[in-house]
Amino acid sequence: MFKLAHLSDPHLGPLPSPKFLQLLSKRFIGYLNWKRNRSGDMKGTILDQLVDDMKANSPDHVAVTGDLVNIALPLEIIGARQWLDDVGSPDWVSLVPGNHDAYVPGALKKARQAWRPYMIGDHAAQREGTSPTDDDPTFPYVRRRGNIALVGVSTARASGPWFATGRVGSKQTKRLRRVLEELGKEDLFRVVMIHHPPFHRATHWNKRLSDASRFRAAIKWAGAELILHGHTHIDSRAQVEGPNGPVPVIGVPSATNSPGGKKPGARYNLFSIARKDDGWTCELEERGFTEADQPPETINRASIVIPAG
């Protein structure tokens, strides 16, 4: 049995004091939003407790689906790398970036440089020492852990004020389709990690995955066993069409959200994946906060139906 933990959207705080010139952009709106809303709703102590609880459950691997930072200040990006190192080593933690990690033009490149060991495939890790470029086809990357294949997809793009859209892009989608086909031939359990949810009506128009239909077409053709996402800050279960039946799509709330607010309290998901006859079993345990001043607890358990290969 393989235990995979999934957490997302930590929006690490507190926010460093920005310089005046750094706020002459979309960052000004995000800074006000942090001061008015996020700083009160998202607590670092909650995140620490959640990560400690996750580690106590001894997952074999951890998937983090983006939005480590808030307005992508340089000090935020550096602090996020320190947090990643505290969570675990790059071979134990897999990351894909979110829209907040690409908040303004140029931010994503800096994030990729700082967080690179956590979002490259096995082959790239073996030849480390190279530096990413704008044309570096880092995504989708693949990490094999036993009979599990983790596939990291990036939807992170800088967008205009009041927008939080994402995009996979045609080149990445073509690579994704090819990668999933090859992994399917190896009979691996393919877990696709993506920040923006790819199913219909997943979020508001200004926060959508703009080419979700392109992503869904790749899944319909090549298949996958499980898709994990963040972005919405809620617990959600949906499906997209695959070649052998519906592919489950599972979202998780923000890892720093205080309980009792508009969105669910901080949570992580723990998937127990095992081979059974010619198929797979997947059990989901949702753990997190339901009340303030209480430790994380099991909120729900469910069996996830995996399409037969």
pLDDT-derived band at 292 (thresholds 50, 70, 90) equals confident
Contacts of 193 (CB under 8 A, 6+ apart): 63, 65, 94, 96, 150, 151, 152, 153, 228, 229
Average confidence (pLDDT) over 270-287: 95
Delimit the domains of the chain by residue range. Answer: 2-304
- Has residue 281 got a pLDDT over 80? yes
| 3-class state of residue 130 by DSSP | strand
**CB of 27 within 8 A of CB of 103?**
yes
Element (H, E) at 87: helix 74-87
**CB of 15 within 8 A of CB of 70?**
yes
- Has residue 277 got a pLDDT over 60? yes
Residue type, 252: V
Which pLDDT does position 134 carry in this prediction? 41
Which pLDDT does position 135 carry in this prediction? 40
- Has residue 26 got a pLDDT over 90? no
Which pLDDT does position 278 carry in this prediction? 81
| 3-class state of residue 185 by DSSP | helix
Proportion of the chain above pLDDT 70, given as a percent: 87
Which pLDDT does position 34 carry in this prediction? 61
Q: How many CB atoms lie within 10 A of CB 105?
A: 11
pLDDT top residue among 132 and 263: 263
Average confidence (pLDDT) over 210-229: 98
- Has residue 19 got a pLDDT over 90? no
CA pseudo-torsion sign 201, 257, 80, 50: negative
pLDDT-derived band at 14 (thresholds 50, 70, 90) equals confident
Fold of 2-304: Purple Acid Phosphatase; chain A, domain 2 (3.60.21)
Which pLDDT does position 201 carry in this prediction? 93
pTM above 0.85, yes or no: yes
pLDDT-derived band at 127 (thresholds 50, 70, 90) equals low
Cα 237 to its chain centre, rounded Å, is: 15
**CB of 256 within 8 A of CB of 43?**
yes
Average confidence (pLDDT) over 110-117: 96
Proportion of the chain above pLDDT 90, given as a percent: 79
Which pLDDT does position 308 carry in this prediction? 80
Which pLDDT does position 25 carry in this prediction? 65
Mode of pairing for the β-strands spanning 245-251 and 297-304: unpaired
Average confidence (pLDDT) over 179-183: 97
Average confidence (pLDDT) over 46-52: 96
> What token pair was written down for 204?
């508001």
Kindly report, residue by residue over 57-67, the tens digit of the pLDDT.
Answer: 999 999 999 99
Kindly report, residue by residue over 137-158, the tens digit of the pLDDT.
Answer: 589 999 999 999 999 999 999 9
pLDDT-derived band at 293 (thresholds 50, 70, 90) equals confident
Contacts of 28 (CB under 8 A, 6+ apart): none
